[in-house]
Structure 1
């Protein structure tokens, strides 16, 4: 059972930090350019009650050899991280990021019952994930995962992870006629994310929770909508999820307000994706220095300065700098770093971060509004 103290900084952190657990997460982009989040159960061992991207810890049985604690590959993109990302997405949402062995298209030639039976069998360890994929004629679509930062839990927190984040684009509608129709409501387990009369259209199953084992809800919404819900305190987002949604919001599903909003034409949806990829492939410059690429950035958030009364976040706000890669990556001596141009401002309550916001570093004033100098 998750305890609040598992995610709170220790008053007297150990001299040698606890090794972070290798894990993967996927920012899954729907055919309408919306983002999938899962609502974790209150008793979850990590991120309890929060909304998170699908993902979880690597498994040597399912995903292959996991780099050793002292290995340089421990905090780098790799085969085990990619397989874990696809397996966990399947276990947690029912969406299979795999290709048909024959056609190379996204694998959807499987009925709801068989898919759910396979999902439960893999989740419980009754069959290995790769064995099940081979059985149904599919292969994990690891090449389509786009690395999008690595997040390493700060050294002074009891339960630590080194999480490789990925971006994955589900196929767009293949024709204007199919993209102009509204998807069916996600509350219906049998309804697809998009509907079509085109026989070549790929139907994406509606994401579903795992029966309350780890999640109570699974839903696609525009990135901007998820951020709005967090700002209204209707959902709980931790800094990594909030920050990455903040990056995607200006580019994806800009005209959508709900899962049932009419879809733009496929060309417009592709233009959104192209604009996002262009942004991600062009590292920003801060204070005359190029930032780390989004694919290679390793981020271990740490407080920069407390800002009581900053903006609208209330008393006790903390500014988290994102430029440090953490002690493990720093010891590798490869010069990897995070991003300095942004900071995350949050107030940490017992249940987790509240009133989270992403701010450009130059906009933060030391000592609160109207006082001190810039960071």
Structure 2
């Protein structure tokens, strides 16, 4: 999140939003490539997500599911008891375009097809607040979920080019694919794709847990342990620390850093190099404590009411 000068009147309360990390059986996560012409985060690879829409969403978990459907075509929903709804690609594509264009309410679409969103499968996986010196601010609840624990209509691995938004749907993303966290980070380091600090942070966290190319019960349990613990409840509000370092990297500190309520010597920060158009060309995480056992809860604010 690159710093942008803004007047006090522009530093509004962050907009509530949600994003979901979808992990498949191959330990790949779903990433969408935002249109380079998009107003927000153009050209960046992100997890699907967007802003809370009070007319369509009953919760931030619903927001994450709706936005995932709009942006990738993957629908995290299950048939209601006694029904056996199987929707064709044509029906799904028409619905996602109409929902995106606000011609169809997401809840109405689900109800008409006897579907319920798989909100119970979404596990809280940190919250992030855009720094105060950025023009447009968001308070994003990240979730993580696993396929096939969550039911889905749409693709579940690799690339599926016929499930991306069409231009007449108000195009937001130009591709959607599943990629192993380690591979995603490698592509980032090679300059093939770009991430913002929250996505880089969460991908690196998952890369340490989801090792190998087959998702195991033990790995799922470790992710669930993170979600249930202090990690899942962390609210991270990055702050710039001093001037850029000798390599021109901006230092962003997080709660729990020694400069942000953590014990002396604790590092919880990233070194970020911003390139053309404020896109990141490097995000180097410095975190020298165990996120399973050594998080200092007193250093973190409790989640704000969104």
- Which range is displaced more, 82-91 or 346-355? 346-355
The structural deviation recorded for 1:341 is 4.4
State the alpha-carbon separation in 1 of the partners of residues 45 and 245 from structure 2: 27
Cα 1:123–1:10 change in 2 (3 A) is closer
Measured on the aligned residues, the alpha-carbon RMSD in Å equals 2.6
| Pair 1:242–1:128, CA change in 2 (3 A) | same
Note closer, same or farther for the CA distance 1:19–1:278 as it changes in structure 2 (3 Å cut): closer
Please list, as runs of the form range in 1=range in 2, the aligned pairs for 1:339-358 lying within 5 A after superposition.
341-351=267-277, 352-358=279-285
How far residue 110 of structure 1 moved from its aligned partner, in angstroms, is: 1.3
Q: Does 1:276 align with 2:223?
A: yes
Segments of structure 1 that go 5 or more residues without pairing to the other structure are: 1-6, 64-78, 174-182, 190-207, 257-263, 283-292, 310-314, 325-334, 363-375
Give runs of aligned pairs for residues 224-303 of structure 1, distance below 5 A: 224-252=182-210, 254-256=211-213, 264=214, 269-282=216-229, 293-303=230-240
Inter-partner Cα distance in structure 1 for 2:164 and 2:78 = 23
Q: Which residue is 1:99 aligned to?
A: 78
Distance (Å, rounded) in 2 between the aligned partners of 1:357 and 1:108: 45
Cα 1:32–1:154 shift into 2, 3 Å: same
1:304 equivalent in alignment to 2:241: yes
Counterpart secondary structure, 2:281: strand
Instruction: Provide, for residues 206-246 of structure 1, a one-character-per-residue CA deviation record: whole Å limited to 9, x for no partner.
Output: xx321250001100010111111111111110000000001
Residue 159 of structure 2 corresponds to residue 186 of structure 1 = yes
Checking the alignment, whether the CA contact within 8 Å between 1:32 and 1:269 is kept in structure 2 is no
Output one character per residue of 1:147-203: Cα deviation in whole Å (capped at 9) or x when no partner: 111111001111111111111111169xxxxxxxxx8852564xxxxxxxxxxxxxx
1:210 aligns with one of 140, 162, 165: 165
Matches of 1:305 and 1:146, distance apart in 2:
35
Which residue of structure 2 lines up, in the alignment, with residue 4 of structure 1? none
Alpha carbons of 1:127 and 1:358: their partners in 2 closer, same or farther (altered >3 Å)?
A: same
Structure possessing the higher radius of gyration over alpha carbons: 1
**Unaligned segments of structure 2, at least 5 residues:** 151-155, 290-306
Contact 1:308 1:316 (8 Å CA) reproduced: yes
SS at match of 1:61: coil
Superposition pairs for residues 328-347 of structure 1, below 5 Å?
341-347=267-273
SS for the counterpart of 1:278 is: helix
Residue 164 (str. 1) matches residue 164 (str. 2)? no
Q: Is the 8 A contact 2:73 2:93 kept in 1?
A: yes
- CA-to-partner distance for each residue in 1:11-54, whole Å, 9 max, x for gaps? 46527822211111011112322101100011111111000110
Q: Which residue of 1 aligns with 2:249?
A: 317
Would the aligned equivalents of 1:32 and 1:172 in 2 still touch at CA under 8 Å? no
Distance 2:158 2:129 in 1: 36
What is the aligned partner in structure 1 of residue 302 from structure 2? Answer: none
TM-score (norm 1): 0.67
TM-score by length of 2: 0.81
